Structure 1
Amino acid sequence: MATGNPGGATDRAALPRKRLGEIFVEKGLLTSVGAERLVDLSKRIGKRFGTVLEDLGLVTGEELAEALAVQYRCKVVKEFHRLRFAPDLFTLVPVEAAVENTLFPLKVESGKLAVAISDPTNVRVISNIGANNGLVVVPFIATRRDIRRAISLHYLGRQEQTSELKRILVVEDDKRVRTSLATLLGREGYEVVTAEDGMEGFRELVASTPDLVITGKDMPKIGGYAFFDAVRSMPETARTPVILVSATATAEEEAGAFEKGFFDFMPKPIKEATLCVKVRRAIASSSIV
């Protein structure tokens, strides 16, 4: 196992690193000109270079992980969601931190904490984990998909859901409204996942990675606005459109929802025609890079 200093700072960090684009050019996955153009694109849209490559389908998650391992001189871990882990391991990294930063604790041994991480540049988070637990953090590179599988299964007790259908997560505490939305959307050919409050919605968010989220405004535990923040905090759903549903539909509230960043707003009672149009618009927007 690789070694490091507290907080994840290692002697390897002092050595010169190849640029990620250079590594992909050497592997024949990109041309030099293409790499330069994609670097410019990543800067314009404010996304990491490797994430842009993966999202555009130019490299696979596995190819990105291997390149990052070369760049940061780390080892790669795969399929670790199939392993068994001691329950107390997950007290070292709260689920919120694991989800938001796409990382997963692997093992504690001899004062070292092995952590699977998709973004090895996230030094601040690695440093905090090391400082909070008094451990030397040893980063391993993994794909975002493998980390999400592990979080879903071992933190939340859920198998990650996969489907070719567009998936919509409906979070609504009113059972009648929740059932009605699920029925209408299912009739339109969508796969629908439901949750009765924001806490359950958070678990479903991690497990299902929806193409669209519809959330009620006033809910117990976590309301619609706080749940919106949870959606945005996850790298995998940071750009997922969210529609707010509210029984107190005033012009001021609708304006506030758009200002917050919601894709759309629907007052109760929900009309089927309005729902279908807004959902189609939102789903179409989610396919745009």
Structure 2
Amino acid sequence: MKHLGDILVEADIISKKTLERALERQKTDKKRLGVVLEEMGVITEEELTEALSKQFNFKTIKNFVGHNYTQELLEMLPADFAMKKLVFPLKKKDSMLAVAITDPFDLETMEMLSRITGLQVIPVLATRKEILEAISVHYLKSSSGEGGEAILVAEDSLPVATLIQVSLVKEGYKVILAHDGLEALKLALSERPKLIITDSVMPRMDGYGLLRAIKANPMTSEIPIIMLTSKASTEDEQKALEFGFSDFIPKPVQPIRVVSRVKHVLEMTKKFRR
């Protein structure tokens, strides 16, 4: 099997020097190379999916959200399982079930799918964004989150960002992801979210810098911002609130806490503006 890094270099998506930097960072972070490269901001989710498909010789699927899926097919995978594992049933034929997945390394989930359905599972690679959108539309019956309030999540850890995204999409919110503070600032200006959740420590611009930039611009100054941080002492919380954050979510992230804080801040913001 060809190495992921070699595939990306051959496709001119990253340079050899970038690959070397990522491999060095991987030794410290103990994360998969694809995750490291995404967190570095040098590849997109779509590029990673395509590269993984070449590495594992898996098919990929795009733009499948608008397809029709029978209730019988959807019921093969419980909604909570689909949300937790980021999988989506695509098609059943005879004793085989094609399932959209994001992680070809996750053999445990594929084995669980086989046990749950009693079928041979054929994995098809898709992006997290498309799978979440499909789950939102077909399981949660929301229009891709378009009718929900938009929340911008700025977090450089993909597992944490995905956990928050899944939790909020399940509640009907539209979630926009940014991998660093600078990207979050650009998205805040273009998307005008109702609320921002930001990690305190990120590449290029940290959470405090993002808050200052958001509050300094009249177009975004009224957007409430929640800080996400591993520093969870009373002093840290007080510092965040005094600095101008609307609330504070400690790590490790608990989905129920994220949803509760988001609902509280949005409700308080609405009351304040009445």
TM-score (norm 1): 0.55
Query: In 2 relative to 1, CA 202–149 (structure 1 residues): closer, same or farther, beyond 3 Å?
Result: closer
CA distance in 1, matches of 2:10, 2:116: 39
Paired residue secondary structure (2:99): strand
| Alpha-carbon distance in 2 for matches of 1:263, 1:64 | 40
1:246 maps to which residue? none
RMSD of the TM alignment (CA)? Answer: 3.7
The 1:80–1:201 alpha-carbon spacing in structure 2 relative to 1, beyond 3 Å, is closer
2:34 to 50, 66, 70: 50
| Structure showing greater Rg | 1
In 2, Cα distance between the equivalents of 1:64 and 1:263?
A: 40
Measure the CA separation in 2 of the matches of 1:94 and 1:264.
39
Displacement, 1:166? 7.9
Instruction: Pick the aligned partner of 1:212 from 182, 197, 203.
Output: 197
Asked whether 1:68 is paired with 2:52, we answer yes
Separation in 2, partners of 1:131, 1:89: 16
Matched with 2:96 is 112
Answer 1 or 2: higher relative contact order, Cα 8 Å, separation at least 6.
1
Check 1:280–1:29 CA distance in 2 against 1; reply closer, same or farther (3 A cut). Answer: farther
Q: Distance in 1 between matches of 2:27 and 2:142?
A: 35
- 2:147 maps to 1:167: no
The alpha carbon displacement at 1:275 in A equals 7.7
Partner amino acid, structure 2, of 1:111: S
2:121 pairs with one of 134, 137, 140:
137
Which segment is superposed worse, 58-67 or 75-84?
58-67
Deviation at 1:42, TM superposition (A): 3.3
2:130 to 119, 122, 146: 146
- Report the CA distance shift for 1:76/1:168 in structure 2 as closer, same or farther (over 3 A): closer
Give, in angstroms, the shift of residue 59 of structure 1. 1.6
Tell me the secondary structure at the aligned position of residue 278 of structure 1: coil
Q: 1:166–1:134: structure 2 CA closer, same or farther, 3 Å change rule?
A: closer
Letter of the 2:132 partner, please give it: R
**When the two structures are aligned, how many residues end up with a matched partner?**
188
The alpha-carbon deviation at position 277 of structure 1 amounts to 2.0
SS in 1 for 2:142: coil
Q: Does 1:277 align with 2:262?
A: no
Contact 2:114/2:121 (<8 A) preserved: yes
- Which digits, 9 at most, give the CA deviation of each residue in 1:194-241, with x for residues without a partner? xxxxxx96623774357429xxxxxxxxxxxxxxxxxxxxxxxxxx95
Unaligned runs of 5+ in 2: 154-166, 177-194, 199-225, 250-274
Does residue 203 (structure 1) correspond to residue 187 (structure 2)? The answer is no
Q: CA deviation at 1:39?
A: 2.6
Question: 120, 142, 155: which is aligned to 2:139?
Answer: 155
Percent of residue pairs identical? 31
Measured in 1, the distance between the counterparts of 2:62 and 2:246 equals: 36
Query: Is 1:123 aligned to residue 90 of structure 2?
Result: no
Deviation at 1:70, TM superposition (A): 0.4
How far 1:145 moved relative to its partner? 1.1
- Give the drift of 1:30: 1.6
2:85 aligns with: 101
